[in-house]
Chain A
Amino acid sequence: MKINYCDTLVVGGGLAGLRAAIVARQRGLNVKVISLVPVKRSHSAAAQGGMQASLGNSNKAEGDNEDVHFIDTVKGSDWGCDQRVARMFAQTAPKAIRQLAHWGVPWSRVKEGDKTAVIDTKKVTITETKEAHGLINSRDFGGTKKWRTCYTADGTGHSMLYGVANKALGEDVDIEDRKELISLIVENGICYGGVVRDLISGELSAYVAKGTLIATGGYGRLYRVTTNAVICDGSAHATVMEAGGTLGNMEAVQFHPTPIVPSGILLTEGCRGDGGVLRDADGYRFMPDYEPEKKDLASRDVVSRRMLEHIAKGKGVDSPYGKHLWLDISILGREHVEKNLRDIQDIAMSFNGIDPADENGKGWMPVRPAQHYSMGGIRTKETGELTTLKGAYSCGESACWDLHGFNRLGGNSVGEAIVSGMIVGEYLADYCENSDINISTASIESHIKKQKDYLQSILDRPKGESAHELKKEMQDVMDAKVGVFRNGPHLEEAVRELEDILKRSNNISVEGSKSLTSANPGLDSAYRVHKMIKVALTVAKGALDRTESRGAHTREDFPKRDDEKWLKRTITSWANENDTLPTVSYEDLDVNTMEIPPSYRGYGKKGLIIDHPDTWERKEVVSRIKEQLIADGSDRYAIQDALMPYELPSNYKERNRRLGDSGDE
């Protein structure tokens, strides 16, 4: 049997995996990246709108810094995130974006002088200074206090992915595509790589490594109506559970407000960030009635709920695909649409025959919330190492690191991918430099054989269940009962039905090719769907047990955010191979170590919070420390350090210089 050895195995060739691989390669390690698809086709490419980093270059970004980015991220998460991780992220993001510029990502740049922007449907003039001319520009996005989202028109993810993938090629990172991880190799609680299937030849081989990184993206395809690429099926999450890893907050699933109907293809938040608005069946702009302050740009969970509320009031537009609302970007003018939102125009024209620049309502695009992002994922420590599996790491969307808590801000997804790749890549490289491969060839071969026997048993099975049928049933359950609005009875049904579907998936058979030695799409589906159903169960069970509403997790029967009972992270695992339900436990979030104690987010419904008993005391402690340090003349860095110290590898903690800083700050 074929065994490949390397220092570092990276599973997943999107932004997160490639960025981490570059770190490991630059530190002299022998790195292998395996990817389901050519890496430049990864789902990172589909991120349209931008990446948040507090550069503070443009007029509307003036005064921005890590502190403001941090606060926005914590509020966005509805206090569900790990605040130290949010600090690590906000501090590193400006460095990440500047480095990417150096690697050739053609960020849009600030142009000196007056420009017209649309804010609140009115044309306003913004004046950029001479000093800012040529620096990286930023646009407005939901849930942020400053215009912080850096972009390349509406192709940001594409440009970032190409920049990083090209850099990886230049660094001679060894990349193998059309390869799929199907199990992890674990011995004595330590992970040594995995068993990998070649999707062209069907060959199974072992990729043995000192350290292994899982960066396989989200699990959006558990839902039928999703913006996610077809490869974002979450099956690697099951693979990690099968090896003894755990998943965090799987019920935290984001629904984006404006995918186009019916295809579910994303129309970026940049549409509204640039001044576009939502309209109802009467052409009325309804969001200011619900959210007077942030209007169309409240956080995604809030806007999605408000849209469905508005449709429930009878204000939706009828269509053969159910009711929807309109997204209007025609008010931005044709020139803006054709320059900054060109891919949006292309999508609307190709899939709906609508030119969104057309005026008088002709260009309005039909939109309705759909699954978009997985806040939950493989539970890791701050270093990215799995909490229960040594030598295995995860970063990017696949991980629950936990930057996003129960809702991610727009512009923080590719941001997390890059930044966590940088940070976790360093910790992973540290680990790989200081560890050995202690596993026998015989043991590795037994791991391969186990998978081979498993796949053969699927192929040998006479007529059984159809993987496609089971997947459809699973997606129907997830769409109908584990969607934007959730409740106890529906979730109980969902768990019961998914458990039944899981049992049936043990009897999946393959209709067509019985070959284990060539490309076999029937077999691909057979083993992936079984894994997907397990992951769907962690989402549904987590949602059922969490009897509160927080961020994107909305329980109609428990409308309040309950910090007293639920300021904790859901942990799901698969204790025994033959279990039909995940095992659920919890990790507490400690109010007494938070830099920002829980409070109202500033958008969404008010008066719906049950306080944690420690919240008020912590608030007092925080304001006392702040007042004292301000009186002592301490700067914002010293205050931050006193409230919640945190670590970063490499030189990421060095201060980020900005326009107007004195040189010796």
Chain B
Amino acid sequence: MSREITISVFKFDPRDKASKPEFVDYKMQEDPGMSLFIALNKIRETLDDDLSFDFVCRAGICGSCAMIVNGKPTLACKTLTSQFKDGHIKLMPMPSFELIKDLSVNTGKWMDGMSKRVESWIHSSKEMDYTKLEDKVEPDVAQEVFELDRCIECGICVAGCGTKAVNENFVGAVGLNRVARFQIDPNDERTDADFYELVGDDDGIFGCMSLMGCEDNCPKDLPLQNRIAYMRNKLIQVGKQK
């Protein structure tokens, strides 16, 4: 037996002067196996074609669809409506990011800024000759780098972060994880002192209050607190020598 569910969605267009923030309730019959991807598209197709939200892969891989579902930041595509026993689901856009419209926020712009700030690319002075055998990398090291490379920049760690809520400039667990990723990458020649220049302050590694909102909500189960602690330890050593 299918039940009726109510999806209450935050609607607001900051570019439209007449628009006022409000919650709009949409009621629909729940389908078996229904995810929020299916439900929100059903709303757009049958009830409100002006509702803005972001999905791309709808498989938990691309990180586009993070939003606040009944108070928690999560990937909407992987959220099944059946997990809400009372049939009421409240959706809000993630805080800490620029609101585009309704549930759509500009994570792309923020993540670009973060990537540039931590210089999220390999720094290497080595001339590469790709006709020759590649440099060897210890299999376990490659695996460790991959573990941290799995971040999908969905923004959930930023939306769930208490530090970010009080410090606008905090680089977020995503930024600190990125630094940790390059710190262990054998292709990257940067030293801990170089990373200290990028994130060795209260907006970076020393700002984290260890409230765990990042790791608790990370959809990829990244070991964020562990990596932040690791980097903090490394950069304290640099700081002591200053």
Please determine whether B44 and A169 come into contact, CB atoms closer than 8 angstroms: no
> Which of A133-141, A248-256, A441-449 touches B?
A133-141
Specify which chain A residues have a CB less than 8 angstroms from the CB of B13 in the assembled complex.
518-519
| Contact among B63, B101, B150 with A155 in the assembled complex (CB-CB below 8 Å) | B150
Closest to A128 in B: B139
Please determine whether B131 and A654 come into contact, CB atoms closer than 8 angstroms: yes
Assembled-state Cα–Cα distance A522/B52 (Å): 9
Specify which chain A residues have a CB less than 8 angstroms from the CB of B132 in the assembled complex.
98, 657
Specify which chain A residues have a CB less than 8 angstroms from the CB of B33 in the assembled complex.
262-263, 351-352
Please determine whether B131 and A657 come into contact, CB atoms closer than 8 angstroms: yes
Please determine whether B112 and A38 come into contact, CB atoms closer than 8 angstroms: yes
Asked whether any CB of chain B lies closer than 8 Å to the CB of A45, the reply is yes
How far does the Cβ of A65 sit from chain B's closest Cβ, in whole Å? 13
How far does the Cβ of A607 sit from chain B's closest Cβ, in whole Å? 40
Specify which chain A residues have a CB less than 8 angstroms from the CB of B64 in the assembled complex.
37-38, 41
Q: Given A102-B122, A102-B128, is A134 in contact with B138 using a C-beta cutoff of 8 Å?
A: yes
Specify which chain A residues have a CB less than 8 angstroms from the CB of B108 in the assembled complex.
37-41, 177-178
Please determine whether A351 and B121 come into contact, CB atoms closer than 8 angstroms: no
Produce 1/0 per residue, B102-144, CB < 8 A to A: 0010111101100110011110101010111111111100110
Asked whether any CB of chain A lies closer than 8 Å to the CB of B193, the reply is no
Q: Is the interface of B mostly helix, strand, loop or mixed?
A: loop
Specify which chain A residues have a CB less than 8 angstroms from the CB of B153 in the assembled complex.
38, 40
Chain A positions 238-280 with a Cβ under 8 Å from a chain B Cβ: 262-263, 265-266
Asked whether any CB of chain A lies closer than 8 Å to the CB of B201, the reply is no
How far does the Cβ of A130 sit from chain B's closest Cβ, in whole Å? 11
Asked whether any CB of chain B lies closer than 8 Å to the CB of A387, the reply is no
Assembled-state Cα–Cα distance A170/B120 (Å): 8
| Contact among A40, A510, A521, A658 with B133 in the assembled complex (CB-CB below 8 Å) | A658
Please determine whether A45 and B61 come into contact, CB atoms closer than 8 angstroms: yes
Q: Given A99-B128, A159-B149, A266-B59, is A134 in contact with B50 using a C-beta cutoff of 8 Å?
A: no
Specify which chain A residues have a CB less than 8 angstroms from the CB of B46 in the assembled complex.
468
Asked whether any CB of chain A lies closer than 8 Å to the CB of B238, the reply is no
| A/B pair count, beta carbons within 8 Å | 215
Asked whether any CB of chain B lies closer than 8 Å to the CB of A406, the reply is no
Asked whether any CB of chain B lies closer than 8 Å to the CB of A120, the reply is no
Specify which chain B residues have a CB less than 8 angstroms from the CB of A521 in the assembled complex.
44, 49-52
Asked whether any CB of chain B lies closer than 8 Å to the CB of A300, the reply is no
Specify which chain B residues have a CB less than 8 angstroms from the CB of A599 in the assembled complex.
none
Please determine whether A99 and B130 come into contact, CB atoms closer than 8 angstroms: yes
How far does the Cβ of A193 sit from chain B's closest Cβ, in whole Å? 22
Please determine whether B131 and A656 come into contact, CB atoms closer than 8 angstroms: yes
Please determine whether A37 and B61 come into contact, CB atoms closer than 8 angstroms: no
Please determine whether B56 and A170 come into contact, CB atoms closer than 8 angstroms: no
Asked whether any CB of chain A lies closer than 8 Å to the CB of B28, the reply is no
Closest to B182 in A: A104
Q: Given A166-B121, A169-B120, A657-B132, is A350 in contact with B60 using a C-beta cutoff of 8 Å?
A: yes
Interface size in chain A (residues, C-beta < 8 A): 82
| Contact among A41, A98, A106 with B146 in the assembled complex (CB-CB below 8 Å) | A106
Asked whether any CB of chain B lies closer than 8 Å to the CB of A110, the reply is yes
Asked whether any CB of chain A lies closer than 8 Å to the CB of B55, the reply is yes
Assembled-state Cα–Cα distance A137/B111 (Å): 31
Please determine whether B111 and A230 come into contact, CB atoms closer than 8 angstroms: no
Q: Given A169-B115, A519-B100, A519-B101, is A162 in contact with B149 using a C-beta cutoff of 8 Å?
A: yes
Asked whether any CB of chain A lies closer than 8 Å to the CB of B58, the reply is yes
| Contact among B121, B135, B139, B145 with A110 in the assembled complex (CB-CB below 8 Å) | B139
Specify which chain B residues have a CB less than 8 angstroms from the CB of A262 in the assembled complex.
33
Assembled-state Cα–Cα distance A38/B55 (Å): 12
Asked whether any CB of chain B lies closer than 8 Å to the CB of A346, the reply is yes
Assembled-state Cα–Cα distance A546/B58 (Å): 34
Asked whether any CB of chain A lies closer than 8 Å to the CB of B96, the reply is no
Assembled-state Cα–Cα distance A499/B79 (Å): 38
Asked whether any CB of chain A lies closer than 8 Å to the CB of B237, the reply is no
Please determine whether A102 and B32 come into contact, CB atoms closer than 8 angstroms: no
How far does the Cβ of A648 sit from chain B's closest Cβ, in whole Å? 12
| Contact among A41, A43, A510 with B49 in the assembled complex (CB-CB below 8 Å) | A510
Closest to A653 in B: B131
Chain B positions 75-118 with a Cβ under 8 Å from a chain A Cβ: 78, 80, 100-101, 104, 106-109, 111-112, 115-116
Specify which chain B residues have a CB less than 8 angstroms from the CB of A538 in the assembled complex.
none
| Contact among A96, A109, A158, A347 with B150 in the assembled complex (CB-CB below 8 Å) | A158
| Contact among B50, B55, B128, B139 with A108 in the assembled complex (CB-CB below 8 Å) | B139
Q: Given A37-B108, A201-B15, A518-B101, is A104 in contact with B121 using a C-beta cutoff of 8 Å?
A: yes
Assembled-state Cα–Cα distance A522/B45 (Å): 9
Asked whether any CB of chain A lies closer than 8 Å to the CB of B185, the reply is yes
Please determine whether A655 and B78 come into contact, CB atoms closer than 8 angstroms: no
Produce 1/0 per residue, B208-230, CB < 8 A to A: 00000000000000000000000
Specify which chain A residues have a CB less than 8 angstroms from the CB of B145 in the assembled complex.
104, 106
Closest to B116 in A: A169
Please determine whether A512 and B48 come into contact, CB atoms closer than 8 angstroms: yes
Specify which chain B residues have a CB less than 8 angstroms from the CB of A135 in the assembled complex.
133-134, 136
How far does the Cβ of A433 sit from chain B's closest Cβ, in whole Å? 23
Asked whether any CB of chain A lies closer than 8 Å to the CB of B57, the reply is yes
Chain A positions 347-395 with a Cβ under 8 Å from a chain B Cβ: 347, 350-352
How far does the Cβ of B115 sit from chain A's closest Cβ, in whole Å? 5
Asked whether any CB of chain B lies closer than 8 Å to the CB of A107, the reply is yes
Asked whether any CB of chain B lies closer than 8 Å to the CB of A541, the reply is no
Assembled-state Cα–Cα distance A650/B25 (Å): 58
How far does the Cβ of A67 sit from chain B's closest Cβ, in whole Å? 17
Chain A positions 523-544 with a Cβ under 8 Å from a chain B Cβ: 525
| Contact among B52, B138, B139, B143 with A519 in the assembled complex (CB-CB below 8 Å) | B52
Assembled-state Cα–Cα distance A158/B147 (Å): 12
Closest to B108 in A: A38
Produce 1/0 per residue, A124-135, CB < 8 A to B: 000000000111
Asked whether any CB of chain A lies closer than 8 Å to the CB of B69, the reply is no
Assembled-state Cα–Cα distance A267/B11 (Å): 35
How far does the Cβ of A36 sit from chain B's closest Cβ, in whole Å? 9
Please determine whether A517 and B130 come into contact, CB atoms closer than 8 angstroms: no
Assembled-state Cα–Cα distance A515/B13 (Å): 11
Chain A positions 310-357 with a Cβ under 8 Å from a chain B Cβ: 320, 343, 346-347, 350-352
Q: List 27 A-B contacts (CB under 8 A).
A: A38-B153, A40-B63, A41-B62, A41-B63, A46-B61, A55-B134, A94-B130, A99-B128, A101-B135, A102-B126, A104-B182, A106-B142, A107-B137, A108-B139, A134-B138, A155-B146, A155-B149, A169-B116, A169-B120, A175-B112, A178-B100, A200-B100, A467-B49, A518-B13, A519-B101, A521-B49, A658-B133
**Known A166-B120, A263-B59; 5 more pairs at CB < 8 Å:** A99-B130, A178-B100, A343-B60, A468-B44, A522-B49
Residues on A facing B (Cβ under 8 Å): 37-43, 45-46, 55, 94-99, 101-104, 106-111, 133-137, 152-153, 155, 158-159, 162, 166-167, 169-170, 175, 177-178, 200-201, 229-231, 262-263, 265-266, 320, 343, 346-347, 350-352, 467-468, 472, 510-513, 515, 517-522, 525, 651, 654-659
Closest 3 CB pairs of A and B: A38-B108, A512-B50, A134-B136
